[in-house]
A = this chain, B = another copy of it.
Amino acid sequence: MEDVKVFGLWSSPFTQRVIWALKLKGVSYEYYGEDLANKSNMLLKYNPIYKKVPVFVHNGKPLAESMVIVEYIEETWSQMPLLSQDAYERSNVRFWSKFIEDKSMQMMEFFVYDGERQERAIKETLETLRVIENQSGLNEKMFIGGNTIGLADIALGWVAHTLPVMEEIVGVKFITTDAFPNLHSWVKNFLEIPAVKNNLPPHELLVEYYREKRKVFLAMAFHHHHRH
């Protein structure tokens, strides 16, 4: 029958995109947890270019890049569509998916630095959230581009679950009802979807994991700063 494998990391918001898409579609899969300090030969074989999770393997054929995988899942299993039938609506959602994808690493920078660089990063994260808040249509719809969960919502999913972990550790709060009412409602809507809600890593474990990660990031940033 169908042979579907996911190579992932339990704490990775990019791995979660793939899991959510599969759960939404009701596709069963085998999950292989990777140790990033000691990557499996399978991971290196299937993703020689980036050597990163997530990797998706369908009947022996590998794919990398979380949003490319999600779009493959969308095209392969038609139930619970993540894109409209209308070409313009599809492209609008793809625009937002790309916008979010392009900005995601930058939006996480406040978590990687401290001091002046962190202040700058916080400002940039706020600016990006402001664009999504005001221009992605969330003032009219429950999700980006419609009233059901779609491709761009899956791209943004980490903002609902991983961002609050990073905020808690750093001691900031971006998405409040006052500052971002549309995004605040979106977070609520997103987390109510059973395929999402029932497939999230436990908050407390994530806090513990990212607290250690932040120490490493700060040490790297310090080292980098003093080397140049």
Contacts and interface: CB of A to CB of B under 8 A. Distances in A.
Given A72-B87, A72-B88, A88-B58, A64 B95 contact: yes
A184 interface: no
A71 B91 contact: yes
**Chain A's interface: helix, strand, loop or mixed, by majority?**
helix
Tell me the number of copies of this protein: 2
Contacts of A75: 87, 90-91
A49 B131 contact: yes
A211 interface: no
A224 B64 CA distance: 36
A65 interface: yes
B135 A63 contact: no
Nearest to A102: B102
B49 A71 contact: no
A44 to B, nearest CB: 13
A135 B48 CA distance: 9
Contacts of A91: 63, 68-69, 71-72, 75
Interface size class of A (residues with CB under 8 A): 20 to 34
A67 B179 CA distance: 32
Interface of A: 48-49, 58, 61, 63-65, 67-69, 71-72, 75-76, 87-88, 90-92, 94-95, 98-99, 131, 135
Contact of A98 (B61, B68, B72, B99): B68
11 contacts: A48-B135, A49-B99, A61-B88, A63-B91, A65-B95, A65-B98, A65-B99, A68-B98, A71-B91, A75-B90, A75-B91
A30 B67 CA distance: 33
